[in-house]
Structure 1
């Protein structure tokens, strides 16, 4: 996302990459998922600044919230949640983190549920060209076009690597899209104007189409955050769900994402084989 390291990546969040991994026990969640098969015992969140909780000091990131909901669903058995979100990461950064002998490799290999939120930062390299009016094309978005197939290929490799690390074990992968890959709402309108907001929404839909198609091809579950933040028609103002920077979720936004993950997992029927 523009200006600061942004949106991001995989599953649940409760800490960084080292040290002990906390467990979560919460008796009363704000959103529950009806599990038709045994729920997850270990969740890993991969991605960028969105799962890591950047831009929202004092907030509980959505990965932790989602973990609490899953812990409540499975009763007395706690769900272990590991947060591997890193602000500013691109999809290539995430793929590289899953190399041999990395902490991320071991964590994913032990997780039966993985969430992935990654890709927005892949497009920041061309943002200055857009803002300078040099992006090209009838819609002034051509400079981003070559990045879409690159994202498709890298995300495919990420999901293939997750499957490889899991070695055929039962695994659920929830892969989110974005409400916007750049700043949105009142902040974006003030800084860049209404045309930017419209163009960014068009580009975000294209990015989400790539993420959704990769998820479908690789047997993952796509989680729509565009609709979760902007409504079914995509025309609602997401400002109330955004932090002061207009780029990251506030606490209500993190809860919205956690609820979307829980709903998607319920629709997918719990853990898959």
Structure 2
């Protein structure tokens, strides 16, 4: 942890002076960051083909700033159960995590969107019924238990610091769903914070507050995924979370 804190400080100094970081080294000698999750860490729609994780997605940006090797295992479309199953049964995921020095987790976004779409369809356009169904489906969802199990499974594989990202509002301010999401996301993200706090060396990266109502800048138009600027924000709060973890431990 001491190494990351020193690197973080040196990077800030180097950037303020307009000079390159003095901590560049071969990839083989660097500590490693493993990024787990869905299309957000993958960097979906930041490139035309979406064949591979984007180099301007937050895991690569965070790794570049902290001089880490990155293994981006984000999978577009994944929900919490998909990641949990991979961590329990997929040797690629298990081995990557077991060798990680730092781990980021960004998952649950698709669970929320799936629940929201289902409640909207079942409500028949009735706003009150929509909110009632959404609240009911969230309370009956396995998403929180799955996230807790994900963190617990990671902890069985490594004692590396874990940064758990919460869920930002993916809807533009002029979208009626923006207000709906703002009604429910604080409760959802409070549960995420509780999960992060329950595990040693687990900290929360508050994407919800970082994005705020700046979707026009941070979310792709007609999309729910971060822009390049949004990915940079996610990298910054991830690095801050790792640094806070070092300071507090």
TM-score (norm 2): 0.77
CA shift digits 1:122-141 (9 cap, x unpaired): 13333143155359895732
Who is 1:151 aligned against?
Answer: 143
Post-superposition shift, 1:198? Answer: 0.3
State yes or no: 1:185 paired with 2:172. yes
Who is 1:56 aligned against?
Answer: 46
State yes or no: 1:249 paired with 2:240. no
State yes or no: 1:165 paired with 2:146. no
Question: Take 1:105 and 1:98, find their aligned partners in 2: how far apart are those partners?
Answer: 6
Give the gaps of 5 or more residues in structure 1.
1-25, 31-39, 72-78, 231-235
Question: Take 2:205 and 2:231, find their aligned partners in 1: how far apart are those partners?
Answer: 14
RMSD of aligned C-alpha atoms?
2.7
Who is 1:69 aligned against?
Answer: 65
3-state DSSP of counterpart to 2:146: helix
CA gap of 1:55–1:207, structure 2 versus 1, over 3 A, is farther
CA gap of 1:224–1:85, structure 2 versus 1, over 3 A, is same
Structure having the larger proportion of residues in helix? 2
Who is 2:185 aligned against?
Answer: 204
- Tell me if the contact between 1:42 and 1:81 (Cα under 8 Å) persists in the aligned partners: yes
How many residues are aligned here? Answer: 215
Question: Take 2:240 and 2:231, find their aligned partners in 1: how far apart are those partners?
Answer: 14
CA gap of 1:29–1:244, structure 2 versus 1, over 3 A, is farther
Who is 2:4 aligned against?
Answer: none
Post-superposition shift, 1:46? Answer: 0.1
Which residue, 89, 94, 110 being the options, matches 1:121?
Answer: 110
Answer 1 or 2: higher relative contact order, Cα 8 Å, separation at least 6: 1
Post-superposition shift, 1:218? Answer: 1.9
Question: Take 2:130 and 2:121, find their aligned partners in 1: how far apart are those partners?
Answer: 10
3-state DSSP of counterpart to 2:225: coil
Question: Take 1:43 and 1:29, find their aligned partners in 2: how far apart are those partners?
Answer: 22
3-state DSSP of counterpart to 2:65: helix
Which residue, 223, 226, 232 being the options, matches 2:208?
Answer: 226
Give the gaps of 5 or more residues in structure 2.
1-10, 17-29, 49-53
3-state DSSP of counterpart to 1:95: helix
CA shift digits 1:173-211 (9 cap, x unpaired): 00001212xx4116xx3xxx43x2100122222221221
3-state DSSP of counterpart to 1:185: coil
